[in-house]
Structure 1
Amino acid sequence: MKNIQAALLAFALSASAAGAQADPHHNKHRVCDSCGKVTSVYVTEKHGDGGATGVIVGGLAGGLLGNQVGSGTGKSLATVAGAVGGAYAGKHIEGRMNKVRTWNVKVRFDNGKTGVYHFRDNPHMANGDRVRRTDGTIVRS
């Protein structure tokens, strides 16, 4: 009887030790919430702001052209209209010349969340790059 009890005790101890080592859920892989992969990079362009230079140059050019039209009161009205129209056009032309580019980088994080990050300069990232979120932006990891 003692032999059976000893054998059962030895079996129980060895099964317990083996079970603790073989538990697949014991060492779960932790997900890095700030780690991810770039899923797309695309560039957008928008017109910049026109400044005083465009307004002044456009206004002068428009006023000179308007002054060439008509005579008397009509000439004065054409000059004013040309200056106003030229100033408006000059501002928009300058804005088109000062285009602003933005690099947009989409990321899928390891925890399943996604995010889009915007850069004024080329971040030199491509689809598939591994990145890490830090201080409100992303860097290659």
Structure 2
Amino acid sequence: MNAFTRGIVPAVVLAAGLVLSGCATGPGYDNAGYRQGYARCQQGCGVVQDVRPVYIDSGNPNGGTLGAVIGAVAGGVLGSTIGKGDGRTAATVVGAVAGGVVGNQVGRNSGGGGNAWRIVVRLDNGQYATVTQRDDPRVRNGDYVQIADGRVQPM
């Protein structure tokens, strides 16, 4: 082997390797519509397109009022068991007021509103699904996920 052959053959092999490595692609979809390079699932799987925090409004504007009424009645009943005569009357009034204030806050806070996550997933079949869930899904755009029981779960 001469010096020319020893130098040119490795260079040609290296160049061919570099050119062909540029043809490699990441995971795609096979002919059956499944994402290649990931574990297959029967349904509800796809790629996350968008993840964002949202606020859920319970849509129940009367939660605080209903809580106040229930709290006032309960507080009044409990207050009426304390003392005698005018003391009992005062305890009933104080119990009703305190129960109404506490009930109002409980009614507002338990209305179902709060922070959540909205996740848009492009399913393997090409359709889109949007899921809103309270707990952090711990996924980001491009992650492969499964939707099960109304929740997004990483694969």
Q: TM-score when scaled to structure 2?
A: 0.41
Which structure has the greater CA radius of gyration? 1
Q: TM-score when scaled to structure 1?
A: 0.44
